Amino acid sequence: MLKSPVRTGAVIDGFAVGDCVHAGGMATLWSVTHPDIDRPLLMKIPRVAEGEDPAAIVSFEMEQLILPKLSGSHVPACFGVGDFAHQAYVVIERIAGETLYKRLPELPLPYEEARGLVAGIATALADLHKQHVIHHDIKPSSIMFRPAGEVVLIDYGLSCHRRLPDLLQEEFRVPYGTAPYMAPERLTGLRNDPRSDLFSLGVLLYFFTTGVRPFGESETLRSMQRRLWRDPYPPRQLKADYPPWLQEIVLRCLEIEPKRRYPTAAQLAFDLSHPDQVRLTARAHKVKRDSIMTVWQRRLNRGLAPPEPAADVAAQIASSPIVAVAIDIAEGTEELNGALRLAAARILATLPAARLACVNVLKLGRVTVDRSLDEHGNSKHIDRMVQLRHWASPLKLDADRLTVHVLEAIDPASAILEFAGVNQVDHILIGARQDSILRTLLGSVSAKVASEANCTVTVVRPPRLAAPSEVRSGEAAS
């Protein structure tokens, strides 16, 4: 590595070094430019000096491995890496704005604002996990926002890419991370479960809505180990007006055992986007921590539990998809809706962690004035929600696996596509009715959905016409 320090005016592999914009404990950030890249850039350079923690060097190596593999709007674009033999660096895009850390003086945030904020972070995490990466350092200073509002996750020095060597796991036995946000299983050396990031996000949601961190500020390993058996104070004990649906989400994220948390970040984002449909359990109404007896049982049984097998991030996500079934209540035939139910049952039978979203579009007129009540004075919207639940009742799903949604739109196909994109739907089931002259001229809803969706689409016909057929229109929506 070069002995001379990096300084303003130096040129490294074609990158002209400008001002130092940040000097952290493990690395420095410099503004740089390149004649072939027309956008603001940052060069991250590790600190290498006598007495520096060797984990900082390994952490930087992990960033060099992971960043070039990432893509999409939720991660910083990478434009180059430098070899340790000459000058180690990573060049990434410079994102305008500040990190979420700058908002700490405003805490606690209003519940609705915090809900939307964390839903965006969960969406970014879902995209990251689909790229086989577990972040392992979700905290306010690792989160930024693009001008259009998309969340950007930064700082991948502690991350784990399930298709690359995990250098931190191979070379060290001490868990590295930010203590207040670290998941319990991280303290036992487990780094292969994406649900660890959901725990960290639960800590952030708890903190941003109460103004208090659920496990305090302690940095000692001994105090951190208590979260292996001790649950946090329920938010409702701190704030009497805390919404039950929000406490349900927060405490589910903060479950000690990963298998009791949300299976995927996409499902967490879904609940945050639809708080009115969050299934309330005993978590939602807790006002005290678990009893001492329960805590001691956890502590005594921890050594008896067999270790969980290594998880494959992609396999875990694939086993927990969000499936949307578009049901035509107004004109759909009993045979077609029965065929849709059968197709849904077959999918759900093989994927016990899947979530089903039943969707119906209440079609609006282009020029007419639409009425929200029918001729009997009943709400059309509520009536259709009831019918959707009736359609799904034979599936006998647990309440936390089923939601119903009535969308109001002029164009049903566009409404379904938008719903699928916003809610990171992995698979759409939609019925195709018999052909008609009008449908031939204008095109069918199912055809448009199948051709334009960014996820798997299964078009289902009544049994007398054809068997269900699957149409692949792209990879799962991010």
Fold of the domain spanning 11-93: Phosphorylase Kinase; domain 1 (3.30.200)
Closest CA to 251 of 209, 306, 292, 217: 209
pLDDT of amino acid 206: 98
Worst-scoring range by mean pLDDT, 190-194, 240-244, 321-325? 190-194
Task: Please say whether the beta carbons of 435 and 421 come within 8 A.
Answer: no
pLDDT digits (tens, 9 = 90+) for 116-131: 999 999 999 999 999 9
Superfamily of domain 321-472: HUPs (3.40.50.620)
Evaluated on CA atoms 442, 444, 445, 447, the torsion sign reads: negative
pLDDT of amino acid 464: 61
Give the distance, in angstroms, between the CA of residue 30 and the centroid of all CA atoms in the same chain: 30
pLDDT digits (tens, 9 = 90+) for 82-137: 988 889 999 999 999 889 999 999 999 999 999 999 999 999 999 999 999 999 99
Give the distance, in angstroms, between the CA of residue 338 and the centroid of all CA atoms in the same chain: 32
Superfamily of domain 101-158+173-316: Transferase(Phosphotransferase) domain 1 (1.10.510.10)
Q: How far apart are CA 445 and CA 456, in angstroms?
A: 16
pLDDT digits (tens, 9 = 90+) for 348-399: 999 989 999 999 998 887 545 456 665 666 788 889 999 999 999 999 998 8
Counting every residue written for the chain, the total comes to: 478
Q: How far apart are CA 478 and CA 475, in angstroms?
A: 9
Indicate yes or no: pTM above 0.95. Answer: no
pLDDT digits (tens, 9 = 90+) for 173-219: 678 888 999 999 998 888 999 999 999 999 999 999 999 999 987 66
Q: How far apart are CA 7 and CA 45, in angstroms?
A: 11
Residue ranges of domains in the chain = 11-93, 101-158+173-316, 321-472
